[in-house]
Amino acid sequence: MSKFASKVVVITATAKELSKQGALLSLTDLNQDRLAQVADECEKLGAKDILQVVGDVLKQEDMKKIIKETADKFVEIHVLVNSAGVAPDVLLSTFTLNQFDRCFNVNVRAALYLTKLALP
């Protein structure tokens, strides 16, 4: 049996490999249609149960909602996969502070805050 069988896994991006291992998934995306498509693929690959949460990891209230809805449905969280990330496609010489702030907020701030929220 897989080490992820029947384990609750919160994922902020893709989840296909964990689906094959029978994980219980909490999936998050900004786009409901894309989220539903990924959830459908994960179900076909073997995910035992899937929670879909539309949310933006740039928004503190959405991050709280992601963890709360997951805990409400599954009671506990065994794994948090902070895989949402962005990188501007610009030269360093033209990189703006707004672009830096967005990168930092998605790639670092959101990961740290979601981890804090997911602690038992």
Is the distance from CB of 113 to CB of 55 less than 8 angstroms?
no
Would you say residue 76 lies in a domain?
A: yes
Domain limits at 106?
Answer: 8-118
Would you say residue 2 lies in a domain?
A: no
Would you say residue 18 lies in a domain?
A: yes
**CA distances, 23 to each of 16, 76, 83, 93 (Å):** 10, 13, 17, 43
Pairing between β-strand 79-81 and β-strand 8-11 as defined by DSSP bridges = parallel
- For position 60, what pLDDT does the model report? 97
- For position 21, what pLDDT does the model report? 84
Would you say residue 34 lies in a domain?
A: yes
Please report, for the domain that includes residue 107, its CATH number: 3.40.50.720
Would you say residue 65 lies in a domain?
A: yes
Is pLDDT larger for residue 8 or for residue 16? 16
Question: How sure is the predictor about 104, in pLDDT bands with cuts at 50, 70 and 90?
Answer: very high
Would you say residue 3 lies in a domain?
A: no
Query: What is the total count of domains within the chain?
Result: 1
44-98: pLDDT as tens digits: 988 889 999 999 999 999 999 999 999 999 999 998 988 888 888 889 899 999 9
Question: Considering the entire predicted model, what is its pTM?
Answer: 0.82
- For position 4, what pLDDT does the model report? 67
pLDDT mean across residues, the chain? 88
**Spatial distance between the Cα atoms of 118 and 99, rounded to a whole number of angstroms:** 27
Backbone angles phi, psi at 3, to 5 degrees: -70, -15
Would you say residue 33 lies in a domain?
A: yes
Is the distance from CB of 84 to CB of 106 less than 8 angstroms?
yes
Residues 6+ apart with CB under 8 A from 105: 58
- For position 100, what pLDDT does the model report? 93
**Spatial distance between the Cα atoms of 30 and 34, rounded to a whole number of angstroms:** 8
Would you say residue 101 lies in a domain?
A: yes
